[in-house]
Protein backbone atom coordinates (compact mmCIF):
# COMPACT_ATOMS: atom_id res chain seq x y z
CA UNK A 1 0.00 0.00 0.00
CA UNK A 2 1.37 3.40 -0.97
CA UNK A 3 1.28 5.94 1.84
CA UNK A 4 -1.49 8.51 1.41
CA UNK A 5 -0.08 11.84 0.24
CA UNK A 6 -0.15 14.40 3.04
CA UNK A 7 0.78 18.01 2.35
CA UNK A 8 1.18 20.97 4.68
CA UNK A 9 0.00 24.37 3.49
CA UNK A 10 -0.66 27.82 4.90
CA UNK A 11 -4.21 28.15 6.11
CA UNK A 12 -6.57 29.99 3.73
CA UNK A 13 -10.11 30.72 4.82
CA UNK A 14 -11.49 30.85 1.27
CA UNK A 15 -10.37 27.26 0.62
CA UNK A 16 -12.84 25.94 3.19
CA UNK A 17 -15.83 26.88 1.07
CA UNK A 18 -14.31 25.72 -2.22
CA UNK A 19 -12.95 22.28 -1.28
CA UNK A 20 -15.00 19.52 -2.92
CA UNK A 21 -13.82 16.58 -0.81
CA UNK A 22 -13.98 16.26 2.95
CA UNK A 23 -13.38 19.25 5.24
CA UNK A 24 -12.23 18.52 8.78
CA UNK A 25 -12.61 20.90 11.73
CA UNK A 26 -11.92 20.63 15.46
CA UNK A 27 -13.76 21.57 18.64
CA UNK A 28 -13.97 20.66 22.29
CA UNK A 29 -16.25 22.62 24.58
CA UNK A 30 -16.28 25.31 21.92
CA UNK A 31 -15.38 25.63 18.25
CA UNK A 32 -11.84 26.63 17.36
CA UNK A 33 -11.49 29.77 15.14
CA UNK A 34 -11.48 27.81 11.89
CA UNK A 35 -14.44 25.69 12.94
CA UNK A 36 -16.32 28.92 13.67
CA UNK A 37 -15.75 30.01 10.06
CA UNK A 38 -17.18 26.71 8.85
CA UNK A 39 -20.10 27.14 11.23
CA UNK A 40 -20.87 30.51 9.66
CA UNK A 41 -20.69 29.01 6.16
CA UNK A 42 -23.10 26.24 7.16
CA UNK A 43 -25.46 28.60 9.02
CA UNK A 44 -24.81 27.19 12.46
CA UNK A 45 -24.73 23.46 11.60
CA UNK A 46 -21.63 22.79 13.71
CA UNK A 47 -23.04 24.45 16.82
CA UNK A 48 -26.22 22.45 16.43
CA UNK A 49 -24.16 19.30 16.16
CA UNK A 50 -22.32 20.21 19.37
CA UNK A 51 -25.64 20.61 21.17
CA UNK A 52 -26.54 17.01 20.37
CA UNK A 53 -26.29 14.04 22.68
CA UNK A 54 -24.04 12.34 20.13
CA UNK A 55 -21.41 15.06 20.58
CA UNK A 56 -21.47 14.82 24.35
CA UNK A 57 -20.77 11.07 24.09
CA UNK A 58 -17.64 11.54 22.00
CA UNK A 59 -14.18 10.91 23.42
CA UNK A 60 -11.14 12.97 22.35
CA UNK A 61 -10.20 12.06 18.79
CA UNK A 62 -13.68 10.91 17.79
CA UNK A 63 -15.95 12.88 15.46
CA UNK A 64 -19.32 13.57 13.87
CA UNK A 65 -19.92 13.79 10.12
CA UNK A 66 -22.27 16.26 8.43
CA UNK A 67 -22.93 15.15 4.86
CA UNK A 68 -23.26 17.61 1.95
CA UNK A 69 -23.33 20.75 4.11
CA UNK A 70 -25.25 23.78 2.82
CA UNK A 71 -23.04 26.75 1.95
CA UNK A 72 -20.00 24.61 1.06
CA UNK A 73 -18.82 22.58 -1.92
CA UNK A 74 -17.62 19.78 0.37
CA UNK A 75 -19.04 16.27 0.36
CA UNK A 76 -18.92 16.30 4.14
CA UNK A 77 -17.72 18.25 7.15
CA UNK A 78 -16.07 16.11 9.78
CA UNK A 79 -16.12 17.73 13.23
CA UNK A 80 -13.65 16.08 15.57
CA UNK A 81 -13.47 16.49 19.32
CA UNK A 82 -9.97 17.56 20.33
CA UNK A 83 -8.76 19.39 23.47
CA UNK A 84 -6.88 22.64 22.83
CA UNK A 85 -3.66 21.26 24.32
CA UNK A 86 -4.15 17.75 23.02
CA UNK A 87 -1.62 15.07 23.89
CA UNK A 88 0.12 13.12 21.10
CA UNK A 89 -2.13 10.11 21.74
CA UNK A 90 -5.26 12.21 21.23
CA UNK A 91 -3.80 13.78 18.10
CA UNK A 92 -2.96 10.36 16.64
CA UNK A 93 -6.46 9.16 17.43
CA UNK A 94 -7.96 12.21 15.72
CA UNK A 95 -5.76 11.55 12.73
CA UNK A 96 -6.90 7.92 12.64
CA UNK A 97 -10.51 9.11 12.62
CA UNK A 98 -9.70 11.19 9.54
CA UNK A 99 -7.74 8.39 7.89
CA UNK A 100 -10.56 5.88 8.41
CA UNK A 101 -13.04 8.15 6.62
CA UNK A 102 -10.84 9.08 3.64
CA UNK A 103 -12.01 8.37 0.10
CA UNK A 104 -10.84 9.24 -3.39
CA UNK A 105 -11.82 12.92 -2.95
CA UNK A 106 -9.27 13.49 -0.17
CA UNK A 107 -9.58 15.97 2.66
CA UNK A 108 -8.77 19.52 3.70
CA UNK A 109 -8.01 19.65 7.42
CA UNK A 110 -8.48 23.04 9.08
CA UNK A 111 -5.63 22.61 11.56
CA UNK A 112 -4.34 26.14 12.10
CA UNK A 113 -5.10 25.88 15.82
CA UNK A 114 -3.59 22.40 16.27
CA UNK A 115 -0.25 22.14 18.05
CA UNK A 116 2.17 19.27 17.40
CA UNK A 117 0.43 18.65 14.11
CA UNK A 118 2.95 15.96 13.16
CA UNK A 119 1.14 13.49 15.44
CA UNK A 120 -2.14 14.24 13.67
CA UNK A 121 -0.43 13.51 10.35
CA UNK A 122 0.97 10.25 11.72
CA UNK A 123 -2.48 9.07 12.77
CA UNK A 124 -3.90 9.84 9.32
CA UNK A 125 -1.12 7.94 7.59
CA UNK A 126 -1.32 4.90 9.87
CA UNK A 127 -5.08 4.41 9.44
CA UNK A 128 -5.33 5.24 5.72
CA UNK A 129 -4.38 1.70 4.72
CA UNK A 130 -6.01 -1.13 2.79
CA UNK A 131 -4.74 -4.43 1.40
CA UNK A 132 -6.48 -6.57 -1.19
CA UNK A 133 -5.53 -8.86 -4.04
CA UNK A 134 -8.52 -8.44 -6.33
CA UNK A 135 -8.93 -8.10 -10.07
CA UNK A 136 -9.99 -4.51 -9.56
CA UNK A 137 -7.46 -2.83 -7.30
CA UNK A 138 -8.77 -0.42 -4.65
CA UNK A 139 -8.86 3.15 -5.90
CA UNK A 140 -6.17 5.41 -4.51
CA UNK A 141 -7.16 7.67 -1.65
CA UNK A 142 -7.24 11.39 -2.37
CA UNK A 143 -4.60 13.76 -1.05
CA UNK A 144 -4.83 15.22 2.43
CA UNK A 145 -3.94 18.88 2.96
CA UNK A 146 -3.23 20.02 6.50
CA UNK A 147 -3.92 23.76 6.52
CA UNK A 148 -1.73 24.99 9.35
CA UNK A 149 0.62 27.63 10.65
CA UNK A 150 4.34 27.32 9.85
CA UNK A 151 3.77 24.75 7.12
CA UNK A 152 7.44 24.12 6.40
CA UNK A 153 8.26 23.50 10.06
CA UNK A 154 5.29 21.14 10.32
CA UNK A 155 6.45 19.25 7.22
CA UNK A 156 9.93 18.83 8.71
CA UNK A 157 8.59 17.64 12.07
CA UNK A 158 6.26 15.13 10.41
CA UNK A 159 8.80 13.63 8.00
CA UNK A 160 10.29 10.97 10.34
CA UNK A 161 6.85 9.98 11.63
CA UNK A 162 5.51 9.59 8.10
CA UNK A 163 8.57 7.57 7.15
CA UNK A 164 7.81 5.32 10.11
CA UNK A 165 4.16 5.03 9.05
CA UNK A 166 5.37 3.92 5.62
CA UNK A 167 7.48 1.27 7.37
CA UNK A 168 4.40 0.11 9.31
CA UNK A 169 2.56 -0.28 6.00
CA UNK A 170 5.50 -2.28 4.64
CA UNK A 171 5.28 -4.62 7.63
CA UNK A 172 1.51 -4.96 7.21
CA UNK A 173 1.86 -5.74 3.52
CA UNK A 174 4.28 -8.56 4.31
CA UNK A 175 1.99 -10.06 6.95
CA UNK A 176 -1.13 -9.74 4.78
CA UNK A 177 0.45 -11.42 1.74
CA UNK A 178 -0.68 -15.00 1.01
CA UNK A 179 1.99 -17.66 1.38
CA UNK A 180 1.92 -18.71 -2.28
CA UNK A 181 3.14 -15.20 -3.12
CA UNK A 182 5.35 -14.39 -0.12
CA UNK A 183 7.57 -17.45 -0.26
CA UNK A 184 10.90 -17.49 1.54
CA UNK A 185 12.57 -16.48 -1.72
CA UNK A 186 10.18 -13.60 -2.43
CA UNK A 187 10.47 -12.40 1.17
CA UNK A 188 14.25 -12.24 0.82
CA UNK A 189 13.95 -10.35 -2.48
CA UNK A 190 11.77 -7.68 -0.87
CA UNK A 191 14.33 -7.22 1.87
CA UNK A 192 17.17 -7.06 -0.63
CA UNK A 193 15.34 -4.22 -2.36
CA UNK A 194 15.90 -2.10 0.77
CA UNK A 195 19.53 -1.72 -0.23
CA UNK A 196 18.20 1.29 -2.13
CA UNK A 197 17.52 2.92 1.26
CA UNK A 198 21.12 2.44 2.39
CA UNK A 199 20.76 -0.84 4.28
CA UNK A 200 23.41 -3.51 3.91
CA UNK A 201 21.50 -6.72 3.11
CA UNK A 202 22.97 -10.22 3.01
CA UNK A 203 21.13 -13.47 2.26
CA UNK A 204 22.44 -16.74 3.72
CA UNK A 205 21.24 -19.77 1.74
CA UNK A 206 20.89 -23.35 2.92
CA UNK A 207 24.51 -24.18 2.13
CA UNK A 208 25.62 -21.27 4.29
CA UNK A 209 23.31 -22.36 7.10
CA UNK A 210 24.63 -25.93 7.01
CA UNK A 211 28.19 -24.60 7.31
CA UNK A 212 27.17 -22.48 10.30
CA UNK A 213 25.54 -25.46 12.00
CA UNK A 214 21.98 -24.08 12.06
CA UNK A 215 20.47 -27.56 12.14
CA UNK A 216 17.54 -26.54 14.38
CA UNK A 217 16.39 -23.92 11.86
CA UNK A 218 17.02 -26.16 8.86
CA UNK A 219 15.02 -29.01 10.41
CA UNK A 220 11.91 -26.82 10.45
CA UNK A 221 12.02 -26.18 6.71
CA UNK A 222 13.21 -29.57 5.47
CA UNK A 223 9.67 -30.62 4.52
CA UNK A 224 9.11 -27.61 2.26
CA UNK A 225 9.92 -26.93 -1.38
CA UNK A 226 10.80 -23.33 -0.38
CA UNK A 227 14.44 -23.07 0.68
CA UNK A 228 15.23 -21.91 4.19
CA UNK A 229 17.16 -18.64 4.34
CA UNK A 230 18.47 -16.11 6.85
CA UNK A 231 18.51 -12.46 5.83
CA UNK A 232 20.83 -10.03 7.63
CA UNK A 233 20.11 -6.29 7.38
CA UNK A 234 22.52 -3.75 8.81
CA UNK A 235 21.99 -0.04 9.44
CA UNK A 236 25.22 1.69 10.44
CA UNK A 237 24.43 5.17 11.70
CA UNK A 238 26.10 5.09 15.10
CA UNK A 239 29.82 5.01 14.52
CA UNK A 240 31.72 2.31 16.37
CA UNK A 241 29.02 1.49 18.94
CA UNK A 242 27.96 -2.14 19.35
CA UNK A 243 24.63 -2.66 17.56
CA UNK A 244 21.19 -3.50 18.81
CA UNK A 245 20.22 -6.87 17.32
CA UNK A 246 16.62 -7.46 16.25
CA UNK A 247 15.74 -11.08 15.48
CA UNK A 248 12.48 -12.09 13.81
CA UNK A 249 10.71 -15.41 13.30
CA UNK A 250 9.84 -15.69 9.62
CA UNK A 251 7.72 -18.83 9.14
CA UNK A 252 6.00 -17.88 5.89
CA UNK A 253 3.40 -20.59 6.43
CA UNK A 254 2.93 -22.92 9.36
CA UNK A 255 0.92 -26.10 8.90
CA UNK A 256 2.30 -27.40 12.17
CA UNK A 257 4.31 -29.96 10.24
CA UNK A 258 3.73 -33.60 11.19
CA UNK A 259 1.97 -32.29 14.34
CA UNK A 260 -0.48 -30.75 11.92
CA UNK A 261 -2.82 -27.97 12.97
CA UNK A 262 -6.63 -28.23 12.73
CA UNK A 263 -7.94 -27.12 9.33
CA UNK A 264 -10.22 -24.42 10.78
CA UNK A 265 -8.31 -21.16 10.87
CA UNK A 266 -5.12 -22.55 9.33
CA UNK A 267 -5.38 -19.92 6.58
CA UNK A 268 -4.29 -17.33 9.15
CA UNK A 269 -0.91 -19.03 9.44
CA UNK A 270 0.29 -16.79 6.63
CA UNK A 271 0.97 -14.38 9.53
CA UNK A 272 3.47 -16.66 11.25
CA UNK A 273 6.26 -14.55 9.74
CA UNK A 274 4.98 -11.53 11.70
CA UNK A 275 8.14 -11.19 13.79
CA UNK A 276 10.27 -11.02 10.65
CA UNK A 277 7.81 -8.52 9.17
CA UNK A 278 8.22 -6.21 12.16
CA UNK A 279 12.01 -6.46 12.07
CA UNK A 280 11.93 -5.59 8.37
CA UNK A 281 9.65 -2.63 9.09
CA UNK A 282 11.90 -1.29 11.83
CA UNK A 283 14.97 -1.52 9.60
CA UNK A 284 13.09 0.32 6.85
CA UNK A 285 12.09 3.07 9.28
CA UNK A 286 15.64 3.49 10.58
CA UNK A 287 17.07 3.76 7.08
CA UNK A 288 14.37 6.15 5.90
CA UNK A 289 14.97 8.58 8.75
CA UNK A 290 18.78 8.09 8.74
CA UNK A 291 18.86 6.99 12.38
CA UNK A 292 22.01 7.77 14.33
CA UNK A 293 22.28 4.26 15.69
CA UNK A 294 23.74 0.88 14.80
CA UNK A 295 21.09 -1.80 14.39
CA UNK A 296 21.24 -5.22 12.78
CA UNK A 297 18.04 -7.04 11.83
CA UNK A 298 18.13 -10.80 11.26
CA UNK A 299 15.20 -12.89 10.08
CA UNK A 300 14.97 -16.66 9.75
CA UNK A 301 12.77 -17.49 6.73
CA UNK A 302 11.35 -21.01 6.62
CA UNK A 303 8.15 -22.87 5.78
CA UNK A 304 6.82 -25.61 8.07
CA UNK A 305 5.25 -28.27 5.86
CA UNK A 306 4.54 -32.02 6.24
CA UNK A 307 6.04 -34.34 3.65
CA UNK A 308 8.31 -37.37 3.51
CA UNK A 309 11.35 -35.29 4.49
CA UNK A 310 9.72 -33.31 7.32
CA UNK A 311 11.04 -33.62 10.85
CA UNK A 312 9.08 -35.90 13.17
CA UNK A 313 8.05 -35.76 16.81
CA UNK A 314 10.84 -37.55 18.65
CA UNK A 315 13.64 -36.30 16.38
CA UNK A 316 16.70 -34.76 18.04
CA UNK A 317 18.34 -31.76 16.36
CA UNK A 318 21.56 -29.96 17.22
CA UNK A 319 21.47 -26.17 17.42
CA UNK A 320 24.23 -23.83 16.26
CA UNK A 321 25.11 -23.37 19.93
CA UNK A 322 25.72 -27.12 20.19
CA UNK A 323 22.81 -27.97 22.48
CA UNK A 324 20.59 -30.86 21.43
CA UNK A 325 16.82 -30.46 21.28
CA UNK A 326 14.23 -33.23 21.39
CA UNK A 327 11.37 -32.23 19.11
CA UNK A 328 8.22 -33.23 20.96
CA UNK A 329 5.87 -31.13 18.82
CA UNK A 330 6.77 -29.99 15.30
CA UNK A 331 4.26 -27.15 15.69
CA UNK A 332 6.59 -25.54 18.24
CA UNK A 333 8.94 -24.66 15.40
CA UNK A 334 9.43 -20.93 15.83
CA UNK A 335 11.66 -21.33 18.86
CA UNK A 336 13.93 -23.64 16.84
CA UNK A 337 14.32 -20.94 14.20
CA UNK A 338 14.96 -18.22 16.77
CA UNK A 339 17.46 -20.31 18.76
CA UNK A 340 19.86 -20.54 15.83
CA UNK A 341 19.40 -16.99 14.54
CA UNK A 342 19.78 -15.49 18.03
CA UNK A 343 23.00 -17.44 18.61
CA UNK A 344 24.35 -16.37 15.21
CA UNK A 345 23.46 -12.72 15.93
CA UNK A 346 25.42 -12.77 19.18
CA UNK A 347 28.32 -14.78 17.81
CA UNK A 348 28.87 -12.50 14.82
CA UNK A 349 27.80 -9.03 15.95
CA UNK A 350 28.48 -8.97 19.73
CA UNK A 351 25.37 -6.80 20.22
CA UNK A 352 24.82 -4.26 22.99
CA UNK A 353 21.36 -5.79 23.42
CA UNK A 354 19.04 -8.17 21.59
CA UNK A 355 15.29 -8.22 20.99
CA UNK A 356 13.51 -11.15 19.36
CA UNK A 357 9.96 -11.06 18.03
CA UNK A 358 7.75 -14.00 17.18
CA UNK A 359 4.16 -15.10 16.80
CA UNK A 360 5.25 -17.83 19.16
CA UNK A 361 2.43 -19.19 21.34
CA UNK A 362 -1.33 -19.41 21.45
CA UNK A 363 -0.94 -19.30 25.22
CA UNK A 364 -0.08 -15.60 25.13
CA UNK A 365 -3.45 -14.93 23.48
CA UNK A 366 -5.20 -16.81 26.29
CA UNK A 367 -3.30 -14.69 28.82
CA UNK A 368 -3.38 -11.24 27.21
CA UNK A 369 -5.93 -11.43 24.39
CA UNK A 370 -5.37 -9.23 21.36
CA UNK A 371 -4.66 -6.04 23.28
CA UNK A 372 -1.10 -6.58 24.45
CA UNK A 373 2.03 -8.46 23.43
CA UNK A 374 3.88 -10.55 25.99
CA UNK A 375 7.22 -9.11 27.11
CA UNK A 376 9.92 -11.26 28.69
CA UNK A 377 13.45 -10.17 29.50
CA UNK A 378 16.60 -10.61 31.55
CA UNK A 379 17.31 -6.89 32.02
CA UNK A 380 14.93 -4.70 34.00
CA UNK A 381 16.20 -1.46 32.51
CA UNK A 382 15.82 -2.62 28.92
CA UNK A 383 12.35 -3.99 29.64
CA UNK A 384 11.31 -0.73 31.30
CA UNK A 385 12.57 1.30 28.34
CA UNK A 386 10.68 -0.87 25.89
CA UNK A 387 7.45 -0.77 27.91
CA UNK A 388 7.72 3.04 28.03
CA UNK A 389 8.24 3.16 24.26
CA UNK A 390 5.23 0.90 23.75
CA UNK A 391 3.09 3.09 26.01
CA UNK A 392 4.20 6.29 24.26
CA UNK A 393 3.26 4.89 20.86
CA UNK A 394 0.00 3.28 21.99
CA UNK A 395 1.20 -0.28 21.29
CA UNK A 396 0.01 -2.53 24.08
CA UNK A 397 2.60 -4.63 25.93
CA UNK A 398 2.76 -6.41 29.29
CA UNK A 399 5.73 -7.98 31.06
CA UNK A 400 5.47 -11.63 32.06
CA UNK A 401 7.85 -13.54 34.35
CA UNK A 402 10.90 -15.68 33.73
CA UNK A 403 11.98 -18.09 36.45
CA UNK A 404 14.29 -21.13 36.61
CA UNK A 405 11.46 -23.09 38.21
CA UNK A 406 9.86 -23.42 34.78
CA UNK A 407 12.95 -25.12 33.33
CA UNK A 408 11.87 -28.45 34.80
CA UNK A 409 9.13 -28.60 32.17
CA UNK A 410 11.77 -28.60 29.42
CA UNK A 411 13.82 -31.53 30.70
CA UNK A 412 14.38 -34.29 28.15
CA UNK A 413 15.38 -37.89 28.76
CA UNK A 414 17.62 -38.07 25.69
CA UNK A 415 18.62 -34.49 24.81
CA UNK A 416 19.64 -31.25 26.49
CA UNK A 417 16.06 -30.01 26.33
CA UNK A 418 12.62 -30.55 24.83
CA UNK A 419 11.13 -27.94 22.51
CA UNK A 420 7.89 -27.74 24.53
CA UNK A 421 7.04 -27.82 28.19
CA UNK A 422 3.38 -28.81 28.08
CA UNK A 423 0.26 -26.66 28.39
CA UNK A 424 0.91 -24.96 31.76
CA UNK A 425 2.61 -21.56 31.36
CA UNK A 426 3.16 -22.22 27.65
CA UNK A 427 4.36 -18.70 26.83
CA UNK A 428 6.76 -18.68 29.78
CA UNK A 429 8.31 -22.06 29.00
CA UNK A 430 8.81 -20.91 25.39
CA UNK A 431 10.65 -17.84 26.68
CA UNK A 432 12.67 -20.02 29.08
CA UNK A 433 13.65 -22.15 26.08
CA UNK A 434 14.86 -19.09 24.17
CA UNK A 435 16.76 -17.75 27.18
CA UNK A 436 19.06 -20.78 26.91
CA UNK A 437 20.33 -19.25 23.66
CA UNK A 438 21.14 -15.85 25.18
CA UNK A 439 24.80 -15.43 26.11
CA UNK A 440 25.73 -14.21 29.62
CA UNK A 441 25.66 -10.42 30.03
CA UNK A 442 23.62 -9.80 26.84
CA UNK A 443 20.55 -7.70 27.72
CA UNK A 444 17.63 -9.43 25.99
CA UNK A 445 13.90 -9.07 25.43
CA UNK A 446 11.57 -11.66 23.92
CA UNK A 447 8.32 -10.32 22.45
CA UNK A 448 5.53 -12.85 21.90
CA UNK A 449 3.33 -11.06 19.38
CA UNK A 450 0.92 -13.87 18.49
CA UNK A 451 -2.09 -11.92 19.72
CA UNK A 452 -1.34 -8.53 18.21
CA UNK A 453 0.01 -9.27 14.72
CA UNK A 454 -3.19 -10.12 12.79
CA UNK A 455 -6.57 -9.21 14.24
CA UNK A 456 -10.02 -10.06 12.89
CA UNK A 457 -11.46 -6.63 13.65
CA UNK A 458 -10.26 -3.10 13.04
CA UNK A 459 -8.11 -1.40 15.64
CA UNK A 460 -7.60 2.29 16.32
CA UNK A 461 -4.87 2.56 13.67
CA UNK A 462 -5.45 -0.36 11.31
CA UNK A 463 -8.30 -2.05 9.46
CA UNK A 464 -9.02 -5.75 9.97
CA UNK A 465 -5.89 -7.76 9.26
CA UNK A 466 -2.22 -7.05 9.89
CA UNK A 467 -1.44 -4.31 12.41
CA UNK A 468 2.30 -3.68 12.07
CA UNK A 469 2.48 -3.78 15.88
CA UNK A 470 5.96 -3.13 17.21
CA UNK A 471 7.52 -1.09 14.41
CA UNK A 472 6.78 2.22 16.14
CA UNK A 473 7.66 1.04 19.65
CA UNK A 474 11.01 -0.42 18.57
CA UNK A 475 11.84 2.65 16.49
CA UNK A 476 11.18 4.72 19.62
CA UNK A 477 13.37 2.38 21.69
CA UNK A 478 16.22 2.94 19.24
CA UNK A 479 15.76 6.71 19.58
CA UNK A 480 15.66 6.75 23.36
CA UNK A 481 18.23 4.08 24.29
CA UNK A 482 20.53 3.37 21.38
CA UNK A 483 21.60 6.77 20.13
CA UNK A 484 18.83 7.90 17.83
Cβ contacts of 42-51, under 8 Å, gap ≥ 24: 42/66, 42/69, 42/70, 42/71, 42/72, 42/77, 43/70, 43/71, 45/69, 45/70, 45/77, 46/77, 46/79, 49/79, 50/79
- Is-contact 450 360, C-beta < 8 A? yes
| 263 three-state secondary structure | coil
Residue 137 burial by Cβ neighbours in a 10 Å radius (0-12, 13-18, 19+): exposed
Q: Which of 261, 292, 388, 399 is flagged as catalytic?
A: 261
**36 has catalytic annotation:** no
Can you tell me the distance from the alpha carbon of 38 to that of 71, in angstroms, rounded to the nearest whole number? 9
Q: Rg (Cα) of the chain, in Å, rounded? A: 24
Neighbours of 312 (CB within 10 A): 13
Beta pairing, strands 200-204 & 76-81 = unpaired
Q: Which of 100, 284, 335, 418 is flagged as catalytic?
A: 335
Can you tell me the distance from the alpha carbon of 383 to that of 163, in angstroms, rounded to the nearest whole number? 26
**115 has catalytic annotation:** no
Beta pairing, strands 454-455 & 76-81 = unpaired
Residues involved in catalysis? 261, 335
Amino acid sequence: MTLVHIDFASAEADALARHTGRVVAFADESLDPWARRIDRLTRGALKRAMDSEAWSDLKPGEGLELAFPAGMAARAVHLIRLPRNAKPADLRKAGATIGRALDTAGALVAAASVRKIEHLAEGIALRAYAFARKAEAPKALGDVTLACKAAEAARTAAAPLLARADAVHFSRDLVNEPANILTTVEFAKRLEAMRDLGLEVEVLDEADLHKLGMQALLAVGQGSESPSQVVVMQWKGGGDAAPLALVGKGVVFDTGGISIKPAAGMEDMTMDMGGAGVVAGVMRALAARKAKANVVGLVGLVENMPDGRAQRPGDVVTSMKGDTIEVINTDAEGRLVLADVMWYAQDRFKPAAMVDLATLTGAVIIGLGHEKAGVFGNDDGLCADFLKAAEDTGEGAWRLPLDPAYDAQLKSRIADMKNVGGRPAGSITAAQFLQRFVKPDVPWIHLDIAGVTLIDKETAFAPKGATGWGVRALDTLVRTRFGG
